[in-house]
Amino acid sequence: MLGRALFRSQYALAAKSRGQQLSSASHKTARRSLANLAMFAAAKKFSLSAAPSERAKVAIVDDSGSYTYAQLLSDAYKVRTALGSKDHKGASIAMLMPNSYEYAAVQWGIWAAGGAVVPLSPMHPERELEYFITNAEARQIICHPSLLKNIQPVLDRLGGSVELLSSDVIMALADTTPSDRGADAEISADQSALFIYTSGTTGKPKGVVHTHATIGAQVGALYDAWGWTSSDRLLHVLPLHHVHGIVVALCSALWAGATTEMMPKFDKSRVWSRVIDGPQDISILMGVPTMYARLLSALEDMSPARQSAARDSMGKLRLTISGSAALPASVFKKWQQATGQAMLERYGMSEIGMALSNDALNPAARKMGAVGKPLPGVEVRLVDGEGVNVTDTPGASGMIQVKGPNVFHEYYNLPEKTAKEFTTDGWFITGDIGTRDADGLYYIMGRESVDIIKSGGFKLSALEIERELLELPIITDVAVVGIPSEEWGEIVAAAVTLRPGTSLDIAGLKEWCHNRMANYKSPKLLRVVDALPRNLMGKLDKKAVKSLFSK
């Protein structure tokens, strides 16, 4: 196995050679600056501005310091140079980087080289890393030295078929000025740009391929709907291998010319410390429901004076946004009571980015449990089991289907699977069941396969039952699933975690449910567990939850 020293020395010679090329007049004709992509527009504006204050505009802050948009462009060019002067024409290039400034520089550099980013996570086990690399057919990977131990065993098994590049060697290349780089590279908007792998709860993860056009459509819609400006400051605490952390958070901020403050990972104490004790300049926080639940838990342990400071500081944010999983009503209410913030919920998935969002500019228009209305340029409809469009029938449930420039290009190397997920008239079938109220707001009932329980002739929403059960104070987390039954088809089963020192049995749960929901919705089976199975984005693994009831 290559050790870190050999890893660095292996690419030092190549880096030295590339550095010589950058400084050699004989290679001026080979130099090209960043691709003419809309993603880079705000950065170029600040970098080329005549105003010193704009040239000093900070793009990203991490634990190592602050980095301007000009530096981000320069470092992205270094990555492009390290990858070679050819246009990679949408070829897959993997990256394994921590949540830091260098993540963005590497991502942008791959795009500038014409490659498609395959983001890997330090949280992925070797088996998944190997699957993503081989499935995407990546032939190069840029890795941070601190994460070499994660990837080296995989590369050893792949027998040298994947070229390994060190991010720190790349970043050590000499800086260049825009005038040194020549004309922009021309990259097609329809070229592959990003692989996002699905969670794989019902089979092997699929590589969702987005183009520069679909990413641009997603980010542009959020820019308009959420009122992003260059004055915004995002506190980024999300993993960077999923559409939420990459596109909705990081890309949106950089598109707007805003500042992104990146934490290495979510830490509830550190988030509160930054918001309360740091400069009062954070304007946007994004998270998943589990993160907000943990922030509320930490808030409860604070002194009254500290809680007051937390409310004042968090209340100054422009937006607190929740996604990637349904937000329990109890968390929505507690968050609003504790911070004065009406949480903004939205709906999306790997294949479509974001499709629906509550009103970002008018908090009073947000409804608990609703995920809002279609974003600019996005069409959404509901189709029932008979194929009838029920979008305009308030309260009717149907499959959520989406059409628009935000929709993904393909599942990589799966043409039949890709075709199967679209209707004959071009709508993407999300697999989620939803309803729409008289005000035009959409609500998610759950996944057709795991969150819709068919019991005794009724179609039940597992998410609705989960939201209700979380109103029981001793329940801290819950997952509701359908378990096969000869008599009922399926029966409702609930797995829960409880507050320390409390207990619950099925008789007690049924008694509590008696006056809160119809009997056919009340759980018939109960499992109390220490923790519910979730993926890296905090989504419940319902397949694993069902297995709890077979033990």
With a threshold of 0.85, does the pTM exceed it? no
% pLDDT > 70, the chain? 90
At residue 2, the pLDDT reads 29
pLDDT-based confidence at 58, cuts 50/70/90?
Answer: very high
Beta strand 442-447 with 410-411: parallel, antiparallel or unpaired?
A: unpaired
- Least trusted range by pLDDT, from 279-283, 500-504, 518-522: 518-522
At residue 180, the pLDDT reads 58
At residue 203, the pLDDT reads 62
Examine the pLDDT at 9 and tell me if it is beyond 60.
Answer: no
For the chain, the straight-line distance linking the first and the last C-alpha, in angstroms and rounded, comes to: 41
Tens-digit pLDDT profile for residues 386-398 = 999 999 999 999 9
Beta strand 410-411 with 452-455: parallel, antiparallel or unpaired?
A: unpaired
Span 524-528, mean pLDDT? 95
For residues 303 and 453, the model is more confident at 303
pLDDT-based confidence at 17, cuts 50/70/90?
Answer: very low
Span 39-57, mean pLDDT? 88
Tens-digit pLDDT profile for residues 229-271 = 999 999 999 999 999 999 999 999 999 999 999 999 999 999 9
Span 275-282, mean pLDDT? 97
Examine the pLDDT at 1 and tell me if it is beyond 70.
Answer: no
Contact 242, 537 (CB under 8 A): yes
Cα angle for residues 234, 322, 72 (degrees, 5° grid): 25
d(CA 188, CA 327): 38
Span 45-68, mean pLDDT? 91
- Six token digits for residue 40: 């880079």
At residue 467, the pLDDT reads 86
Q: Collapse the DSSP code of 290 into the 3-class scheme (helix H, G, I; strand E, B; otherwise coil) and give the result.
A: helix
For residues 11 and 457, the model is more confident at 457
- Six token digits for residue 459: 């179609």
Span 276-301, mean pLDDT? 94
Span 465-474, mean pLDDT? 91
At residue 184, the pLDDT reads 64
At residue 5, the pLDDT reads 31
Burial label, 483 (beta-carbon count in 10 A; 0-12, 13-18, 19+): middle
d(CA 526, CA 481): 11
At residue 182, the pLDDT reads 53
Tens-digit pLDDT profile for residues 139-188 = 999 999 999 999 999 999 999 899 999 999 999 988 866 555 555 668 89
pLDDT-based confidence at 305, cuts 50/70/90?
Answer: very high
Tens-digit pLDDT profile for residues 71-128 = 999 999 999 999 986 778 899 999 999 999 999 999 999 999 999 999 999 988 888 8
At residue 202, the pLDDT reads 54
pLDDT-based confidence at 539, cuts 50/70/90?
Answer: confident
Examine the pLDDT at 408 and tell me if it is beyond 90.
Answer: yes
- Six token digits for residue 352: 């479509």
d(CA 77, CA 333): 46
Walk me through the domains of the chain, giving residue ranges and CATH numbers. 4-187 (3.40.50.980), 227-341 (3.40.50.980), 452-550 (3.30.300.30)
- Least trusted range by pLDDT, from 77-81, 100-104, 377-381, 449-453: 449-453
pLDDT-based confidence at 325, cuts 50/70/90?
Answer: confident
d(CA 155, CA 138): 11
For residues 20 and 416, the model is more confident at 416
Mean pLDDT for the chain overall: 88
Beta strands in 387-427 (DSSP E): 397-403, 410-411
